[in-house]
A = this chain, B = another copy of it.
Amino acid sequence: MTERPETGPAGDPMVEARRLSGLLIQVAERAKAEFADSVAGFDLPLHLVRAMMSLDQPAPMRDLADHLSCDRSYITGLADQLEERRLVSRVPGEDRRVKLLELTPEGRELRGQLSDAVAAHSMVLQRLTPDERRTLEPLLRKLLGDA
């Protein structure tokens, strides 16, 4: 067996890769479940919550479809439900085919509450020390591609 200086105590790189990617999937599942739990107390279905969270800035419905990886037709339904609840409004874009979705003041207020609830329940906050959190953040950013 040849010496493999890269692998160190963690062993075979393929084994490490399977282990780490498996861990990441588990964390992802946990994060998703935790997110659902965190917002369960609000009277808002999960798919509407996700739409709200995507609306940082007013955005064309098409962009929302891209961001949520769903069809444009589905966004129409989401927008209808959010408008009924007075959480967003459709505003015309410069291109007159386009409608932007914009959070109303109530929408922004609720979005803040949702963010706080998610943050408060997050395993990141509950299980990691401040030092560990500072270590984790740049790694997460790098995973997302922010060089």
Contacts and interface: CB of A to CB of B under 8 A. Distances in A.
Interface of A: 6, 8-10, 14, 16-33, 35, 53, 69, 115-116, 118-120, 122-125, 127-128, 130, 132-137, 139-145
A32 B14 CA distance: 20
A144 to B, nearest CB: 6
A116 B24 CA distance: 14
Oligomer: number of copies: 2
A108 to B, nearest CB: 10
15 contacts: A6-B130, A9-B134, A14-B119, A18-B118, A18-B119, A20-B133, A21-B119, A21-B124, A23-B140, A23-B141, A24-B27, A24-B31, A27-B140, A28-B31, A128-B139
B115 A127 contact: no
